[in-house]
C-alpha cells in the first residue's frame, strides 16, 4: 500500500487481529498453526500404501508431531510419548488421504475454458481456483484431501493447473503447488469447440509448435542461468516451460484413444522429454500401455472404467474390459484413478478405484489404494510430502469403517497436516 497504509498494521491493530483470529478459530483451519501438541492414532488396520514399501500394517500406531508423521509401527513396538493426544480408531482403518489429479470443481467452474486461442500455456487455473467450495467440502468428507485443479479441454492447451489441499479455508492455506501442471488436451474436445473446426493433424502441429517454442525459451533461460548467453526477454506465455524442463511441474494430458495416447508418449515424453502423465487414457488407450510404461508415463485413469466392443475403437471379442485392468495386463505398473470432477462427483474418487478392481484390476498387492494415494503423489513429484503413511510425510490421514474404496465404508475422520478437518463426531455426516 502507499506510504501511510504501510503502517496500517500498528502493533495495537496486530494484537487485535491475532485476538480476532483466535476467537473465530480460523487458526485451526490453517496449516501454519498446526505446530504444537503431538497426536497418536491407533487402528486395527493401517494402509501404509508405500511405494516401494509395505502396503498394510495391522494393529499399528501413527505418531504425529505438528503437521507431519513422526513414527509408524506396531502398537507393541512404538512407544507413545507423554502428553500425546490419543485417537483410537478401534476397528476402523486408517489410510492416506486420497488425491485426484483431474479436478475442475475446486474452482468457480466459469473459468475453465478460454476459447480465444487454441494454445494458452500462460493461463493459470489459479485465477479461478476455489479450494473449499460446498462441493469440495463433501469431497473432503469422502477422504479426498488433495486435488490437481486444471483448466478444461476446450482448447489444446488450457493453461496451468494448481495443486490444492481441500481441508483448510481459503486459497493460500490449501495451496500445495502453483503451477501444478500444464493442461494439455490433444484431441476429443478441442475440435468441437472452435468455430473454424481445426482437425487433429493441425491441432497436433500447432500444439507441437507451441511446445517447441516453450522448450526453446526454457533452454535459453537455462543457458543464461548457467552464465552462457544473455538474459532472454521475459515471456509469461512460456514461463511454465521453465518449470516443466526443471521437472518442477508436469504435463497433465487429457488423452484418450490409442493414437492420441501414443502421441502423448511419443511427442511430450520422448520428443520433448518433459514429465507427463495420462489423465484419462480411456477407450482403447490401453493399447499404448507398453509404450507409456517404457517411457515412464504414468496412467491416471478415469472416469470411464470399462470398454466394450465398439466399432472404431477396439475388438474386445465381446468382452467388457476394465480399463485399469487392461493397462495392468499390458505391463503398466503405475496406475492411478481420477474423476474429472464434476463429470463424476469428486466424492466418488474411491469408487473409481473400486470399479477398476471390480472390472479386473489385480488388487492382491493392494495397488488400488496406491492408485488413489502414492501413485498420484509420485506422478506430480510430491511423494516426499504425501501419498503414504510414512515417517516425515504430512499427516494427511483418513479413518474409514473398512476397506476405504468400498462404497459402504464411510469416512469417520479426516486429518490434514495433523489436524482434524472433518469428523462425524462433531458434525452430521456429509458423505
Partner 1 sequence: MVVVATTLLALAASAQDPGTPGGPGLALFAAKALVAELDGRQVVDNALILVKDGQIEAIAARSEIEVPTGYTLRDLGSQWVMPGLVDLHTHVSGSGINDTVFQINSGLRVAPTTVPANRNLKRALAAGVTTVLYIPGSGSNMGGQGILMKTGFPEYERALVRDPGSLKIAQGDNPTRWGYGMGRLLMNFHLRTVIEQGLAYAQAWDEFEAGEGDKPERELRLDIFRELAAHRTQVSTHTQYFQLVMMSILMLARDYDLDVYIDHGSFDSYLNSDIAVENNVAAILGPREVMWPNPPRYRTDGQVHGSAWGFQQAGHPMIGFNTDAPVVPLEELPLQAAMGARYGMDNSAMQAVRGLTIVPATVAGISDRLGSLEAGKDADLVILSGDPADPRTSIEQVYLEGETVYDTARDRRRW
Partner 2 sequence: MHIQTNTNGRTLILAVLLPIFLSLCAPAFSQDEKKEQEEPQTEEETDEWFALQGGDIYTGTGAVLRGATVLSKNGTIDEIGYDLFIPEGAEVLDVSGYRVYPGLVAIESRGLFGGSSDLANSVDPFSKNMTLALAAGVTTARSGSEVAKLRAGHIDGLVLNSGILPRLSYSKSSPSGKRTLREKFEAASQYLRDYAQWQIDKKSDKELKEPSKKGIDSSILRYLRGEARPLFSASQRTDLLEIARLAQRFGFRPIIDGCQEGWIVADELGRAGASAILTARDRSSKGEQLVRAGGSSIENAAILHRAGVSVTIIPSSAGISLGGIVGRDLMHLTVEAGYAVRGGLSEKAALDSITIEPARLMGVSQRVGSIEVGKDADMIITDGDVLHYQTFVQWAVVAGEVVYDKQAELYFAHIRPRPEAALSPEERLDAGETPEEEIVEEAGDSDSPGEGNEEGDGEDHDEDDGDGGSRP
Partner 3 sequence: MLIPLLLAWTPSPVPQEAPDLPDLYAIKASVLETGTGEVIEHAVLLVEGGKVITVGEDLVVERGIPVYELDPDQVVIPGLVNAYTRVGMTGSGQSGARPWQRASDELYPAAGDYSGVRETGVTTLGHYPSGNGIPGRCVVVRPKGSTASAMTIKDDAYLKVIMGSSKSAKDALSGGFKKADTWIAKEKKNKEKWDKAKEKFDKEKDKEKKAKLDPGPYKPLADDPSAASFMQLRDGSLKALISVRTAGDYLHLIDAIGEEEFTWDLRVVMTRDMNIYHVIEKVAKSGRRVVLEPEISLHPGTMRQRNLPAEFARAGTPVVLVPRSDSVAGFKAWRRHVGEIVASGLDRSTAMRAITLEPAALLGVDDQVGSLEAGKQANFVILSGDPFEPGTQVDAVILDGVLVSGEVNL
Among residues 325, 298, 348, the alpha carbon closest in space to that of 98 is found at 348
Residue 315 CA, distance from chain mean position: 33
E strand residue ranges, 314-392: 321-322, 335-337
Q: Which of residues 202-221 bind partner 1 (CB under 8 A)?
A: none
Instruction: From 34, 57, 55, 29, select the one nearest 44 (Cα to Cα).
Output: 57
- Per the document, the length of the chain is 431
Q: In this complex, which beta carbon is closest to partner 1, that of residue 171 or of residue 313?
A: 171
Considering only CA atoms, which of 275, 285, 298, 291 is closest in space to residue 371? 298
Residue 228 binds partner 2, judged by CB under 8 A: no
Interaction between residue 307 and partner 2 (CB under 8 A): yes
Which residues, 133 to 152, sit near partner 1 by CB under 8 A?
133-135, 151
Nearer to partner 3, 212 or 310 (CB): 310
Residue 407's SS3 state is coil
Q: Least distance to partner 1 from the beta carbon of 125, Å?
A: 7
Q: State the residue for C-alpha cell 490419543.
A: 86
DSSP 8-state symbol, 25: T
Task: Note whether 26 binds partner 1 by CB under 8 A.
Answer: yes
Whose grid coordinates read 485443479? 149
Place of cell 474418487: 349
State how far Cα 165 lies from the chain centre: 9
Residues 357-416 within binding reach of partner 2 (CB under 8 A): 357-360, 363, 365-366, 401-403, 405-410
Burial class (CB in 10 A: 0-12, 13-18, 19+), 22: exposed
20 is an interface residue for partner 1 by CB under 8 A: yes
Which residue stretch of 27-35, 237-245, 260-268, 348-356 sits at the interface with partner 2 (rule: CB under 8 A)?
348-356
Stretch that binds partner 3, among 71-79, 90-98, 313-321, 381-389 (CB under 8 A): 313-321
- Cell numbers placing 287: 493399447
Q: Contact region for partner 2 (CB under 8 A) — 193-201, 207-215, 301-309, 376-384?
A: 301-309
CB of 129 to partner 1, least distance (A): 6
- Interface with partner 2 includes 55 (CB under 8 A)? yes
45 binds, among partner 1, partner 2, partner 3, none (CB under 5 to 8 A by kind): partner 2
| Cα→Cα distances 41→74, 115, 411, 413, 414, Å | 11, 49, 15, 11, 12
Indicate which of partner 3, partner 2, partner 1, none lies near residue 149 (CB less than 5 to 8 Å, by partner kind). none
Cell match 472452435: residue?
194
Of the candidate spans 11-19, 214-222, 329-337, 369-377, the one that interacts with partner 1 by CB under 8 A turns out to be: 11-19
Smallest separation (angstroms) from partner 2 to the CB of 289 = 17
Q: Which stretch binds partner 1 (CB under 8 A): 8-16, 279-287, 357-365, 397-405?
A: 8-16
The DSSP output letter for 322 is E
Omega before residue 267 within 30° of 0, cis: no
In degrees and rounded to multiples of 5, residue 352 shows phi and psi of -60, -45
Which residues, 98 to 137, sit near partner 1 by CB under 8 A? 107-108, 110-117, 120, 122-130, 133-135
Interface size with partner 3, residues (CB under 8 A): 5
Nearest Cα to Cα of residue 386 among 100, 182, 119, 120: 100
Of 316-375, binders to partner 3 (CB under 8 A) are: 317-318
CB of 321 to partner 3, least distance (A): 12
CA-to-CA distance for 170 and 101, rounded, in angstroms?
20
70 vs 132, which CB is nearer to partner 2?
132
The DSSP letter of residue 124 is B
Answer whether 55's CB lies under 8 Å from 365's CB: yes
Determine the 3-state secondary structure of 397 from DSSP: strand
Chain residues in the site for partner 2 (CB under 8 A): 44-45, 54-56, 58, 93, 134, 282-283, 303-308, 317-323, 325, 343-345, 348, 351, 354-355, 357-360, 363, 365-366, 401-403, 405-410, 428-431
* Interaction site with partner 3 (CB under 8 A): 308-309, 315, 317-318
Would you tell me which residues interact with partner 1 (CB under 8 A)?
1-6, 8-10, 12-13, 16-21, 24, 26, 30, 107-108, 110-117, 120, 122-130, 133-135, 151, 159, 169-172, 234, 236-237
Amino acid at each position: 500500500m502507499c506510504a501511510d497504509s504501510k503502517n496500517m498494521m500498528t502493533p495495537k491493530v496486530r494484537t487485535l487481529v491475532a485476538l480476532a483470529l483466535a476467537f473465530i478459530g480460523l487458526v485451526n483451519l490453517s496449516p501454519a498453526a498446526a505446530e504444537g501438541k503431538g497426536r497418536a492414532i491407533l487402528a486395527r488396520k493401517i494402509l501404509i500404501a508405500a511405494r516401494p514399501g509395505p502396503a498394510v500394517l495391522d494393529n499399528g500406531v501413527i505418531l504425529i508431531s505438528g503437521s507431519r508423521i513422526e513414527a509408524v509401527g506396531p502398537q507393541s513396538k512404538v512407544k507413545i510419548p507423554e502428553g500425546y493426544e490419543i485417537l483410537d480408531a478401534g476397528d476402523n482403518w486408517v489410510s492416506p488421504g486420497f488425491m485426484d489429479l483431474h479436478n475442475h470443481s475446486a474452482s468457480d467452474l466459469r473459468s475453465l475454458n478460454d476459447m480465444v486461442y487454441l494454445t494458452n500455456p500462460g493461463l493459470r487455473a489459479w485465477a479461478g481456483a476455489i479450494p473449499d467450495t460446498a462441493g469440495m467440502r463433501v469431497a473432503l468428507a469422502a477422504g479426498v484431501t488433495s486435488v490437481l485443479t486444471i483448466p478444461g479441454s476446450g482448447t489444446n492447451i488450457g493453461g496451468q493447473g494448481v495443486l490444492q489441499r481441500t481441508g483448510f479455508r481459503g486459497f493460500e492455506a490449501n495451496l500445495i503447488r502453483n503451477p501444478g501442471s500444464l493442461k494439455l488436451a490433444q484431441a476429443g474436445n478441442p475440435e468441437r469447440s472452435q468455430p473454424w473446426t481445426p482437425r487433429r493433424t493441425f491441432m497436433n502441429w500447432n500444439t507441437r509448435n507451441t511446445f517447441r517454442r516453450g522448450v526453446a525459451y526454457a533452454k535459453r533461460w537455462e543457458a543464461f542461468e548457467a552464465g552462457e548467453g544473455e538474459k532472454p526477454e521475459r515471456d509469461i506465455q512460456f514461463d511454465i516451460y521453465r518449470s516443466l524442463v526443471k521437472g518442477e511441474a508436469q504435463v497433465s494430458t487429457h488423452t484418450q484413444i490409442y493414437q492420441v495416447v501414443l502421441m502423448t508418449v511419443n511427442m511430450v515424453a520422448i520428443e520433448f522429454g518433459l514429465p507427463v502423465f495420462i489423465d484419462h487414457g480411456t477407450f482403447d488407450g490401453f493399447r499404448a500401455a507398453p509404450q507409456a510404461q517404457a517411457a515412464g508415463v504414468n496412467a491416471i485413469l478415469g472416469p470411464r472404467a470399462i470398454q466394450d466392443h465398439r466399432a472404431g475403437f477396439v475388438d474386445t471379442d465381446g468382452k467388457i474390459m476394465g480399463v485399469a485392468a487392461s493397462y495392468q495386463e499390458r505391463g503398466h505398473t503405475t496406475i492411478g484413478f481420477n474423476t474429472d470432477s464434476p463429470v463424476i462427483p469428486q466424492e466418488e474418487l474411491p469408487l473409481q478405484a473400486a470399479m477398476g478392481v471390480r472390472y479386473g484390476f489385480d488388487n492382491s498387492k493392494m495397488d488400488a489404494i496406491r492408485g488413489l494415494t502414492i501413485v498420484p503423489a509420485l506422478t506430480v513429484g510430491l511423494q516426499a510430502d504425501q501419498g503414504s503413511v510414512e515417517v516425515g510425510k504430512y499427516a494427511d490421514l483418513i479413518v474409514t469403517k473398512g476397506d476405504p474404496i468400498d462404497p459402504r465404508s464411510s469416512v469417520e475422520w479426516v486429518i490434514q497436516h495433523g489436524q482434524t478437518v472433518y469428523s462425524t463426531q462433531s458434525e452430521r455426516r456429509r458423505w
